[in-house]
Amino acid sequence: MAETRPAALTSADAPTPGTAGDEIYELLRELFPICRSISGDGVRQTFELLAPYLPLMLSEVPTGTQVFDWTVPREWNIRDAWIDDGDGNRVVDFRASNLHVLGYSTPVRTKLPLAELREHLFTHPTEPDWIPFRTSYYNENWGFCLATRQLDALPDGEYEVCIDSTLEDGSISYAEAVFPGELDDEILVTTYSCHPSLANDNCSGIALLAVLGKYLADSSLRYTYRLLFSPGSIGPISWLAANEGRLDRVKHGLVASCVGDPGRPTYKQSRRGDAEIDRAVASVLRQRGDHEVRPFVPLGGDERQFNSPGIDLPVGALSRTPANEFRGYHSSADNLDLVRPDALGDSFDLYWTVFGVLERNRRFENLNPKGEPQLGKRGLYRAIAGGTSEEEALLWVLNLSDGGHDLIDISDRSGLPFETIHEASDALEAATLLQPL
């Protein structure tokens, strides 16, 4: 029987969390300096850096394209930006931090007094030393972001400002990699690709998906895996509009974000709340220790698009400390010191373990449902090393294999680890006491 069972990835296909964490951190460091936005060359440069890890297919959606209720905006690129104090000193300099420029700033070159310039300056509401991350995607504006202390140090007087940017017809870019399995059914894992130099909020998700892709490529898979990198909101909306006819292939999905901080894992359920992905992630988290599971709310990241009522895909969001809850969120404090290789490695292991549960999860029919089958004569009872939990698992699997429960359900109800339940189902199937449905 075992030889006819479909492929399913195992932990043997993956690196140790330590190795994966180092690999993800290394890529994250390369991604960090790039000035990304919802469009532009920074995004393309990002995808080029991912190319050695996974086979990316790039899509460009032209400015003006109607995608559901949205219109693809003009493409933004930036070369340089600064504020000069009139004595040739760059008191604010894009080259020192790309967070200094309000994202999607229109080009400007002018002189103006500090009082007028202030209308275009943004500071962090609570932390005087942090540069905030601000954008104005769909509302034309220009501006600079700086630390409150930096602003307070500027004397009155006239300043020269320059934002050497372009906002022109072009496209937004998204990229996807597909790893075919035995089934056309897909597991969709997505992340956004639109944040500049922010380490946890964005770079961590991009780097995690790239390294997951690297190891999926070498694994034998039951499901087909699709990894999608796209700019927040407009990206998933564009992808969903382009793929509307084939969305029924997506059986399970996860949005990856903020996976590099040392906080505990947090899972936000899909809109359905009881989808297989919701049960799989909850089951894995329970076995791993401290974590939080939250119900779906129509706020947050790209899960909003996948869970909109006309799409309604079973897509949850799996992060560590969620965006806007970790210290440093959307500021210069979300840097390479905030993210940790061990947290990135733990996130890799978490995703990989969830994939493993989805790969192995099945429903079975008990072929001997009238009374318990006699396990002893089949060498199953008390013959399994380790004793009671393995024996309990056999009885739980037999009892709940009535067609209405899958292995995740049985793991939940019995309180036994999914792996133990799965091993019991393997043994029972080999003894022809179970048949997969």
**366: amino acid identity, one letter:** N
**400-409: b (≥16 Cβ within 10 Å) or e:** bbeeebbbbb
- CB-count burial class (<10 Å; 0-12, 13-18, 19+) for 286: middle
**178: amino acid identity, one letter:** V
Least distance from Zn ion to the Cβ atom of residue 322, Å: 11
Structure tokens at 341: 């290789």
CA distance 12 to 16: 9
Nearer to Zn ion, 324 or 435 (CB): 324
Residues 6+ apart with CB under 8 A from 331: 99, 124, 127, 130, 131, 132, 133
Least distance from Zn ion to the Cβ atom of residue 231, Å: 11
Count of positions on this chain that bind Zn ion (CB under 5 A): 1
Beta strands in 26-170 (DSSP E): 57-62, 66-67, 70-71, 75-84, 90-93, 108-113, 121-122, 144-145, 158-168
Nearer to Zn ion, 134 or 226 (CB): 134
Nearer to Zn ion, 232 or 316 (CB): 232
Least distance from Zn ion to the Cβ atom of residue 371, Å: 58
β partners of residue 59? 174
Nearer to Zn ion, 171 or 331 (CB): 331
Among the listed ranges 33-41, 197-205, 361-369, 382-390, the one in contact with Zn ion (CB under 5 A) is 197-205
Least distance from Zn ion to the Cβ atom of residue 250, Å: 24
| Polymer length of the chain | 437
Least distance from Zn ion to the Cβ atom of residue 41, Å: 20
- Binds Zn ion (CB under 5 A): choice among 23, 201, 302, 334: 201
Least distance from Zn ion to the Cβ atom of residue 324, Å: 8
Check: CB of residue 148 under 8 Å from CB of residue 123: yes
Structure tokens at 146: 């700086």
Nearer to Zn ion, 186 or 201 (CB): 201
Nearer to Zn ion, 228 or 323 (CB): 323
SS3 content of the chain, % helix, strand, coil (to 5): 35, 25, 40
Least distance from Zn ion to the Cβ atom of residue 194, Å: 8
Among the listed ranges 195-203, 313-321, 352-360, 411-419, the one in contact with Zn ion (CB under 5 A) is 195-203
Least distance from Zn ion to the Cβ atom of residue 117, Å: 26
Interior angle at CA 131, CA 302 and CA 329, nearest 5: 35
Residues 6+ apart with CB under 8 A from 113: 156, 157, 158, 159
Nearer to Zn ion, 159 or 174 (CB): 174
Least distance from Zn ion to the Cβ atom of residue 91, Å: 27
Nearer to Zn ion, 190 or 219 (CB): 190
Among the listed ranges 43-51, 201-209, 248-256, 391-399, the one in contact with Zn ion (CB under 5 A) is 201-209
Closest residue by beta carbon to Zn ion: 201
Per-residue binding string, Zn ion, 40-59, x by CB under 5 A, is --------------------
Nearer to Zn ion, 176 or 201 (CB): 201
> Quick one: CA torsion of 106, 109, 110, 115, rounded to 10 degrees?
50
Q: Where does this chain bind Zn ion (CB under 5 A)? A: 201
